[in-house]
Amino acid sequence: MNKATVVSGIRPTGYLHLGNYFGAVQNFLRMQEDFNCYFFIADVHSLTTHPTPDNLQAGVKQVLAEYLACGIDPEKSTIFIQSDVPEITELYTILNMNAYLGELERTTSFKDKARKQPENVNAGLLTYPVLMASDILIHKAHFVPVGKDQEQNLEMARKFGKRFNRMYKSEVFPIPKPFTFDGADLIKVPGLDGSGKMGKSEGNAINLFDTEKDIRKKVMRAVTDSGPTEPNSEKPEAIQNLFTLMKIVSEPAVIEQFETAYNQCEIRYGDMKKQLAEDIIKVTLPIRERIVDILDDNEHLAKVARMGAEKARESALKTLKEVKELVGFRKLY
């Protein structure tokens, strides 16, 4: 039987952080065993924030090394760099004709970015969901493993896929679904600065590439308060975030111990942070060591990128051909 297809990407705008790892990459690792997977580095998307050419190139190499260090296997999955597959941007041009200003302006990620970089509200930011839809639809993906923050962008991809199918009376695009294992919700890994999600542009990220010292320092600086004064109090957001992270990286018995201490107003945040830092390091340190080794091996990185580009282009070209035929780009010669 044919395997279902999976597509997902990460922008090379910095190091991979715990949000990327637990929100996306961990699912990639399990999915590559049973699905036809395309995991890519979204360097075209990165241009919306105007990185310098050197930073962009370094970011692409870093994320490629990090994918491999996490265990994404180029023999099982297709790992590629988005700009190596020009068919994606060709599909983007076509899909843009059926994407409307109103719906693009209403996207939360657009509104957020426009607020964060008011000096650079470019057309690429506005049509970001169309490019993301092209990434997904070009491989006829059935599933897209992403974190909670991408839910709306994925909904747009579904909408653009359905709209194209309807307009051209075809079933060229399967309608992609968000994916997690065992029906779990899409996750949001919080930052340690007392609010919101962990993110590269939030400046609150704990990276897979951070040293042990960096991680201890970042965790010890996490925002807390003076502790509860009533037993079984509700947790303020900053404290809840600390517990949420602990639920992701620590053993159940450890979490239980700090929950009990909190409920009995005996919690010592210093101890909790020390424990949390060590449990994060247990996850990240072996990955960091592999990243360092892989970054040294330019030949291997080049080979993986070349192989991925070939496989991804083959799949992309097939879809694009069908799409062009459907819209009426038919040869006169």
136 touches which of ligand ADP, ligand TRP, none (CB within 5 to 8 A by kind)? ligand TRP
Q: Which region among 95-103, 129-137, 207-215, 281-289 touches ligand TRP (by CB under 6 A)? A: 129-137
What is the separation, in whole angstroms, between the first and last Cα of the chain? Answer: 38
Total residues belonging to the chain: 333
Q: Taking the complex as a whole, how short is the minimal distance between the CB of residue 149 and ligand ADP, in angstroms?
A: 5
Phi, psi of 177, deg, nearest 5 = -115, 150
Query: Should residue 135 be labelled a site residue for ligand TRP when binding is judged by CB under 6 A?
Result: yes
Q: Which of 153, 224, 275, 284 binds ligand TRP (CB under 6 A)?
A: 153
Query: Should residue 20 be labelled a site residue for ligand ADP when binding is judged by CB under 6 A?
Result: yes
Measure the CA–CA gap between 333 and 323, rounded to whole angstroms. Answer: 19
- Is residue 197 flagged as an active site residue? yes
Residue 54 labeled ligand binder = no
Residue 11 labeled ligand binder = yes
Measure the CA–CA gap between 299 and 306, rounded to whole angstroms. Answer: 11
Q: Maximum distance among all alpha carbons in the chain? A: 80
**Site string (78-117) toward ligand ADP, x via CB under 6 A:** ----------------------------------------
Question: Among residues 113, 140, 218, 273, which one is catalytic?
Answer: 113
**Site string (232-251) toward ligand TRP, x via CB under 6 A:** --------------------
Q: Taking the complex as a whole, how short is the minimal distance between the CB of residue 256 and ligand TRP, in angstroms?
A: 33
* C-alpha distance from residue 27 to each of 14, 30, 34 (Å): 20, 5, 12
Q: Which of 198, 249, 320, 323 binds ligand ADP (CB under 6 A)?
A: 198
* C-alpha distance from residue 231 to each of 65, 224, 235, 279, 323 (Å): 47, 17, 11, 27, 62
Tokens of 44: 């075209």
Measure the CA–CA gap between 130 and 148, rounded to whole angstroms. Answer: 19
Tokens of 36: 């036809």
Q: Which residues, listed in sequence order, are joined to residue 194 by a DSSP beta bridge?
A: none
Residue 214 labeled ligand binder = no
Binding site for ligand ADP (CB under 6 A): 10-11, 13, 19-20, 23-24, 146-150, 187-189, 197-201
Binding site for ligand TRP (CB under 6 A): 7-11, 42, 45, 132, 135-136, 144, 146, 150, 153
Catalytic residues: 113, 197, 200
